[in-house]
């Protein structure tokens, strides 16, 4: 079968697909639409069209190389019997370590000192240390305590002796050892607030003007989730007026970040290009995990991380209509 890649994946993942007998293609001259029209599966690293099933009439699987499935029109896929899967936890270490790097950048100014040492001299660079502080004893609030949030809490508490507060909608599902706090408490008491939640109708705009107003004047907001989790206008106003310490943002409402975006002109921001989960190791894990899920689905098996299990019956009918065998799952 034909597996479409929206973007390149690690060679180890591509090797898994080819070893299973599948062809693998990236978009060519006709673009992604032309490739989707022929594809039996797609490995997803960018936003797919909302009418995916119409553009991809042969599609059996849409697998996210990563965690967030907001790039996939899950409702459309479910209605048409296209199975959706992801690779949870594959980039948890990478993203958690990136948050630590963001906090250290805020606390210790290493990059700024490097630039000033080269351009302004030893004494000017060294004077910046007067603004430095330790992470030990500071409070980190984590919104979204899944695989990423759990690993971040472990590093922050055990490694840096930070006080950690966590929030998830189901307080009873909190991992052991991470105190649950409500959102108002997290925004009021945290020195750093890390967003690690999925983008859903419930989390869109979660970081509202009212919640930003509860933050300490020195507190930093760290967004590793999705841009729309934050009310961007409210954040811009707070940053311009100096009502919070700053924001370290890896994701945005519209990506790539526009060259004239007002965030680029602010001194109290750290901007990165949606790269928190893209360490060498994480990319290999995500690629191989996504490839393995594609192989399972195309063989007629259930994926391990099944986003829309309610589509299973429709997927059986879709396979039959396309002339594919039911696969091992039904045979069992």
Do 108 and 229 reside in the same domain of the chain? yes
Do 128 and 154 reside in the same domain of the chain? yes
Going 106 to 129 to 160 to 211, the CA torsion angle's sign is negative
Do 123 and 262 reside in the same domain of the chain? yes
Residue 53 belongs to domain with CATH number: 3.40.50.720
Do 226 and 98 reside in the same domain of the chain? yes
What is the C-alpha to C-alpha distance for residues 180 and 120, in angstroms, rounded to an integer? 46
Among 48, 92, 40, smallest CA distance to 66 is for 92
Among 200, 199, 145, 215, smallest CA distance to 176 is for 145
pLDDT at 328: 53
Among 83, 27, 35, 71, smallest CA distance to 56 is for 35
Do 252 and 294 reside in the same domain of the chain? no
Contacts (Cβ under 8 Å, ≥6 apart) of 233: none
Do 230 and 311 reside in the same domain of the chain? no
Do 70 and 103 reside in the same domain of the chain? no
Going by pLDDT thresholds of 50, 70 and 90, the confidence category of residue 166 is very high
Residue 331 confidence (pLDDT) above 50 = no
> What are the tokens at 3?
């597996």
Residue 329 confidence (pLDDT) above 60 = no
Do 259 and 297 reside in the same domain of the chain? no
What stretch of H or E contains 92? helix 92-108
pLDDT at 30: 79
Mean pLDDT of 152-167: 98
Do 6 and 100 reside in the same domain of the chain? no
Going by pLDDT thresholds of 50, 70 and 90, the confidence category of residue 29 is confident
What stretch of H or E contains 161? none
What stretch of H or E contains 316? helix 312-321
What is the C-alpha to C-alpha distance for residues 52 and 43, in angstroms, rounded to an integer? 13
Going by pLDDT thresholds of 50, 70 and 90, the confidence category of residue 88 is very high
- Give, in degrees to the nearest 5, the angle at Cα 41 between 35 and 47: 70
What is the share, in percent, of the chain residues with pLDDT greater than 90? Answer: 96
Where among 251, 271, 291 does a domain terminate?
Answer: 271
DSSP 267: T
**C-beta separation of 216 from 238 below 8 A:** no
Where among 248, 271, 294 does a domain terminate?
Answer: 271
Query: Domain range holding 310?
Result: 2-89+280-331
What is the C-alpha to C-alpha distance for residues 251 and 228, in angstroms, rounded to an integer? 9
pLDDT at 115: 94
Going by pLDDT thresholds of 50, 70 and 90, the confidence category of residue 327 is low
Question: 163: exposed, middle or buried (C-beta count within 10 Å: 0-12, 13-18, 19+)?
Answer: middle
Where among 247, 271, 295 does a domain terminate?
Answer: 271
Give the chain's mean pLDDT.
96
Do 266 and 146 reside in the same domain of the chain? yes
Mean pLDDT of 254-274: 97
> What are the tokens at 48?
């797919």
- Give, in degrees to the nearest 5, the angle at Cα 284 between 71 and 36: 40
Do 44 and 184 reside in the same domain of the chain? no
pLDDT at 330: 46
> What are the tokens at 236?
């811009």
pLDDT at 54: 92
Question: How many Cβ atoms from other residues are within 10 Å of residue 172's Cβ?
Answer: 6
Do 137 and 187 reside in the same domain of the chain? yes
Going by pLDDT thresholds of 50, 70 and 90, the confidence category of residue 325 is confident
**C-beta separation of 69 from 307 below 8 A:** yes
pLDDT at 326: 72
Mean pLDDT of 59-84: 96
Question: 118: exposed, middle or buried (C-beta count within 10 Å: 0-12, 13-18, 19+)?
Answer: exposed
What is the C-alpha to C-alpha distance for residues 251 and 232, in angstroms, rounded to an integer? 11
Mean pLDDT of 61-67: 96
104-159 residue pLDDT tens: 999 999 999 999 999 999 999 999 999 999 999 999 999 999 999 999 999 999 99
DSSP 259: T
**C-beta separation of 125 from 175 below 8 A:** no
312-322 residue pLDDT tens: 999 999 999 99
Query: Bridge partners of 271?
Result: 249
Contacts (Cβ under 8 Å, ≥6 apart) of 140: 103, 152, 153, 156, 162, 163, 164, 165, 190, 191, 192, 193, 194
pLDDT at 142: 98
DSSP string, 214-261: TS-TT-EEEE-S-GGGB-HHHHHHHHHTT-SSEEEES--SSSSPPTT-
Provide the number of structural domains found in the chain.
Answer: 2
């Amino acid at each position: 079968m034909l597996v479409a890649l929206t973007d390149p994946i690690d060679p180890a993942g591509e090797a898994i697909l080819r070893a299973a007998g599948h062809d693998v293609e990236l978009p060519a001259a006709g673009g992604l639409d032309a490739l989707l029209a022929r594809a039996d599966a797609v490995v997803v690293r960018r936003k797919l069209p909302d009418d995916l099933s119409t553009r991809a009439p042969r599609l059996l699987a849409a697998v996210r190389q990563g965690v967030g499935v907001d790039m996939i029109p899950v409702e459309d896929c479910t209605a048409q019997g296209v199975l959706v899967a992801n690779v949870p936890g594959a980039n948890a270490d990478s993203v958690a370590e990136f948050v630590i790097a963001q906090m250290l950048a805020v606390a210790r100014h290493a990059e700024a000192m490097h630039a000033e040492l080269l351009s302004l001299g030893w004494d000017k660079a060294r004077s910046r240390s007067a603004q430095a502080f330790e992470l030990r004893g500071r409070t980190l609030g984590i919104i979204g305590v899944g695989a990423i949030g759990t690993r971040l809490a472990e590093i922050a508490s055990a490694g840096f002796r930070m006080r950690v507060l966590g929030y998830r909608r189901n307080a009873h599902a909190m991992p052991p050892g991470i105190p649950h706090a409500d959102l108002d408490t997290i925004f009021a008491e945290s020195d750093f607030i890390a967003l690690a939640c999925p983008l859903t109708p419930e989390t869109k705009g979660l970081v509202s003007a009212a919640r930003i107003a509860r933050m300490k004047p020195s507190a930093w907001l760290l967004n590793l989730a999705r841009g729309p989790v934050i009310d961007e206008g409210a954040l811009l106003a707070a940053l311009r007026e100096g009502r919070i310490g700053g924001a370290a943002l890896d994701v945005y409402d519209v990506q790539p970040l526009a060259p004239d975006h007002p965030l680029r002109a602010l001194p109290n921001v750290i901007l990165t290009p949606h790269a928190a989960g893209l360490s060498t190791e994480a990319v290999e894990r995500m690629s191989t995990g996504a490839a393995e899920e594609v192989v399972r689905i195309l063989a007629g098996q259930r994926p391990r991380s099944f986003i829309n299990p309610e589509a299973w019956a429709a997927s059986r009918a879709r396979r039959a209509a396309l002339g594919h065998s039911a696969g091992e799952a039904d045979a069992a």
